[in-house]
Chains A and B, each alone.
Chain A
Amino acid sequence: MKSPFSKGLLDGVPIALGYLSVSFGFGILAVRSGLTTLVSVMISATNLTSAGQAAGIAIIAAGGSFFEMALTQLVINLRYGLMSISLSQKLDDTFNTPRRLLVAYGITDEIFAVASAQKGLLTARYMYGLISISTFGWCLGTFLGASAGQFLPASLTNAMGIVLYAMFIAIVIPPAKKSRGVLAVSVTAALCSLLFKYLLPQISGGFAIIFSAVIAAVIGAMVFPTAEEEAEEVKA
């Protein structure tokens, strides 16, 4: 019998491999925005989130306010709150408050996806396995990306800068094909973002993302309220 912890480790291997390359791109971006390797790895170890970290280093580089940082993280990572609500319904009886506090650290898009696909209730040990190997991949990739940025040719590191954004495209496009709501929301968000960037450049990047996202999601919720089943399947 495999222990729940090692099953979690095993299930986490594909996540860790994916994270390795994506966080490699993050490491490159971070160093390019003026951060050291140590700081980049610290950010990855404490945040464990691609979109939030990418926005975070942009705010640091631009010298944005702490308020802007907090609000940006709130809006960008709001989806984790939804995933946490969903996963909280699936925890076994031994999941006491300290364990919840620990596991909450590791709720990401991919970990959520794997955990919610499990049959039956989730144990804390399984989640520890899943989260620890994924976090290891995330931090190792950041370290390699940040340090290799100095040794690899610029043509290669430049090309790696697109990795995170390409992953975001891969998350958005498939549901946008199936749901008019997701398509409308994405197009609206893109238009708003372009508007802020080119017509209202005085609004900083973090706020532009917040405003664009909230406007698009509110319009989506009003015009295309989701069916109950759709809202329950919160894979993002």
Chain B
Amino acid sequence: MTLVIYIAVMAGMTYLIRMIPFAAFRRQIKSRFFRSFLYYVPYAVLTAMTIPAIFYSTGSVETAAVGTAVALALAYFDMPLIVVALAASAAAFAAGFILPFLR
């Protein structure tokens, strides 16, 4: 039951954020500060979510670090999202087999 409430809160909030401006907004926001703040929010959120959580995402800090390095490098060269995501995962996977031999 608690789980259903969690999901309802999650989905309800997410929907309201999308729906209210979409249904109601007809004018542009004027405040430069607020526009700048909104512009930066996605990057701030995504970075805060990624660091340091990414290092705990594969069950091994070492393989995760390899995957992270590959993701950073490919992202730096503007590779598509899907390429970066899959290559990082493949690198972490490969590191899981290779790293034990380097010890």
Q: Do A and B come from one complex?
A: yes
A residues within 8 Å of B by Cβ? Answer: 17-18, 21-22, 25, 29, 35, 39, 42-43, 46-49, 51-56, 59-60, 66, 69-70, 73-85, 87-89, 97, 100-101, 103-105, 107, 109, 154-156, 158-177, 181-182, 185-190, 192-194, 197-198, 208-209, 212-214, 216-218, 220-222, 224-226, 228, 230-231, 234, 236
B residues within 8 Å of A by Cβ? Answer: 3, 5-7, 9-11, 13-15, 17-23, 25-26, 28-29, 32-54, 57-60, 63-64, 67-68, 70-72, 74-76, 78-82, 84-90, 92-93, 96-97
Tell me whether B19 and A101 are in contact (CB under 8 A): yes
> How many pairs, one residue from A and one from B, have CB atoms within 8 Å of each other in the complex?
303
Residues of A within 8 A of B25 (CB): 84-85, 88
Tell me whether B59 and A43 are in contact (CB under 8 A): no
Tell me whether B44 and A185 are in contact (CB under 8 A): yes
Tell me whether A51 and B45 are in contact (CB under 8 A): yes
Report the nearest A residue to B12, measured CB to CB.
A70
- A14 CB to nearest B CB, Å: 8
* Interface SS of chain A: helix
Given A162-B57, A162-B58, A190-B48: A225 and B78 interface contact (C-beta under 8 Å): no
